[in-house]
């Protein structure tokens, strides 16, 4: 069900939600949070699909604030999506223009679920200081995506300079499976025989930079180098240089990685490329501060040499 509300007010939208629920048009499922998504018109479909997928695991109220031209007449058009058009969530799409083009707390507050946490996700356009934005100030978690920026590494630098507990970035979330596998390797082989680590990937990928910075933070006595790979994937592989034989986890293509261990046949490890929906769902599972990401972003990046090097023969 889609309810169109042209040229409206948030107070009218709130009343309409109450009426729809009273009439049984909105499913009375407990909502666990409010997800705010300020986005450009071009991002609406991708953001809505990701939010619907994530809401299957985390029933929530989704508010998409679609930012139109600021020089147009001031106006807000809305639509409410429920039932089959929203999955297990309620989706409210606000199309804003004129003086309302930049969504504010006063504009959104009437639509927030009372006493439930608020999460803001920017599908593109990393703010200068996410926690200082109007929506960021009312959010327990703030999710950006530096990979969607024209200059991803510059976006990471901005985030590093303004990081506040509660901030995270999907470039970091995409590394969860990598970090799990690499932690297992280090636990199995230890660090005494390590002489270096090589991270291969796309050198302008924020995920590659964050993975190298995380490894450098975890292994402060071991040099970590960045190797540019010919793969289209942001992260191509990680090679642990060891005196007893190198260990390498490589994902040349597809969703299966090759694991090379000393004296053993190659093993195959499931390491799928993560979708935006999967990353968003993971971030909504935890509303506490991601202190590891904060340390890697603010300290690990400074310690790590991100200049591309030649691979060890």
pLDDT digits (tens, 9 = 90+) for 96-126: 999 999 999 999 999 998 889 999 999 998 9
Q: From 129, 146, 170, give the residue that closes a domain.
A: 170
* Residue 5 pLDDT: 95
Q: Does the pLDDT of residue 289 top 70, yes or no?
A: yes
The string of pLDDT tens digits covering residues 255-265 is: 899 999 998 99
Same domain, 158 and 191: no
| % of the chain with per-residue pLDDT over 70 | 94
DSSP state, residue 113:
P
* Residue 304 pLDDT: 86
Same domain, 301 and 152: no
Same domain, 18 and 38: yes
Same domain, 42 and 154: yes
Same domain, 194 and 291: yes
Same domain, 143 and 220: no
Same domain, 138 and 204: no
Higher pLDDT, 28 or 148: 148
The string of pLDDT tens digits covering residues 23-49 is: 776 665 667 899 999 999 999 999 999
Same domain, 150 and 196: no
In this structure, what are the phi and psi dihedrals at residue 98, rounded to the nearest 5 degrees?
70, -135
Average pLDDT over residues 123-134: 93
Q: From 131, 146, 170, give the residue that closes a domain.
A: 170
Structure tokens belonging to residue 227 = 């190797």
Residue from 202, 194, 198 nearest 212 by CA: 198
Average pLDDT, the chain: 91
Specify the pTM. Answer: 0.92
The string of pLDDT tens digits covering residues 12-25 is: 999 998 888 887 76
Same domain, 12 and 142: yes
Contact 153, 159 (CB under 8 A): no
Average pLDDT over residues 169-198: 95
Task: Supply the range of the domain harboring residue 263.
Answer: 176-309
Same domain, 98 and 245: no
Same domain, 91 and 164: yes
For the chain, the straight-line distance linking the first and the last C-alpha, in angstroms and rounded, comes to: 61
Contact 59, 30 (CB under 8 A): yes
DSSP state, residue 197:
E
In this structure, what are the phi and psi dihedrals at residue 205, rounded to the nearest 5 degrees?
-85, 130
Nearest 5 degrees, angle CA 201-CA 203-CA 207? 70
Same domain, 148 and 212: no
**Which of 27-31, 160-164, 203-207, 240-244 bottoms out in mean pLDDT, i.e. has the lowest?**
27-31
* Residue 210 pLDDT: 97
Residue from 173, 153, 130, 158 nearest 286 by CA: 173
**Which of 56-60, 125-129, 298-302 bottoms out in mean pLDDT, i.e. has the lowest?**
56-60
Higher pLDDT, 271 or 233: 271
Contact 251, 23 (CB under 8 A): no
Total domains in the fold of the chain: 2
Environment class of 18 (CB within 10 Å of its CB; exposed 0-12, middle 13-18, buried 19+): exposed
* Residue 29 pLDDT: 63
Q: Does the pLDDT of residue 86 top 60, yes or no?
A: no
The string of pLDDT tens digits covering residues 187-233 is: 999 999 999 999 999 888 999 999 999 999 999 999 999 998 766 67
In this structure, what are the phi and psi dihedrals at residue 272, rounded to the nearest 5 degrees?
-70, 150
Q: Report the DSSP beta bridge partners of residue 183.
A: none
DSSP state, residue 131:
G
Cα 168 from Cα 174, distance rounded (Å): 12
Q: Does the pLDDT of residue 84 top 70, yes or no?
A: no
Higher pLDDT, 83 or 162: 162
Q: Does the pLDDT of residue 166 top 90, yes or no?
A: yes
Q: How do 2-5 and 75-81 pair as beta strands?
A: antiparallel
Q: From 120, 154, 170, give the residue that closes a domain.
A: 170
């Amino acid at each position: 069900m889609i309810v169109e509300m042209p040229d409206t007010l948030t107070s009218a939208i709130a009343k309409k939600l109450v009426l729809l629920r009273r009439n049984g048009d909105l499913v009375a499922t407990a909502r666990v949070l409010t997800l705010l998504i300020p986005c450009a018109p071009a991002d609406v479909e991708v953001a809505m699909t990701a939010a619907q997928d994530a809401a299957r695991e985390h029933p929530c109220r989704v508010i998409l604030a679609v930012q139109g031209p600021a020089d147009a007449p001031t106006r807000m058009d809305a639509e409410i999506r429920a039932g089959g058009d929203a999955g297990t969530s309620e989706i409210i799409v606000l199309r804003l223009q004129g003086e309302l083009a930049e969504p504010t707390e006063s504009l959104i507050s009437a639509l927030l679920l009372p006493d439930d946490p608020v999460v803001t996700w920017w599908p593109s356009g990393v703010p200068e200081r996410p926690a200082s934005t109007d929506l960021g100030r009312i959010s327990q978690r703030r999710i950006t995506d530096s990979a969607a920026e024209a200059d991803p590494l510059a976006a990471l630098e901005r985030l590093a300079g303004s990081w506040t507990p509660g901030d995270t970035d999907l470039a970091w979330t995409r590394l969860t499976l990598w970090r799990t596998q690499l932690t297992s390797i280090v636990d199995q082989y230890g660090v005494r025989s390590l002489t270096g680590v090589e991270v291969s990937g796309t050198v302008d990928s924020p995920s590659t930079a964050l993975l190298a910075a995380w490894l450098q933070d975890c292994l402060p006595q071991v040099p970590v180098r960045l190797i540019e790979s010919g793969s289209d994937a942001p992260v191509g592989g990680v090679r642990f240089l060891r005196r007893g034989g190198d260990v390498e986890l490589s994902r040349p293509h597809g969703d299966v990685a090759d694991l090379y261990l000393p004296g053993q046949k190659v093993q195959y490890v499931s390491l799928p490329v993560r979708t935006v929906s999967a990353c968003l769902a993971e971030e909504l599972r935890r509303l506490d501060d991601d202190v590891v990401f904060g340390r890697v972003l603010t300290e690990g990046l400074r310690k790590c040499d991100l200049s591309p090097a030649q691979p060890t023969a």
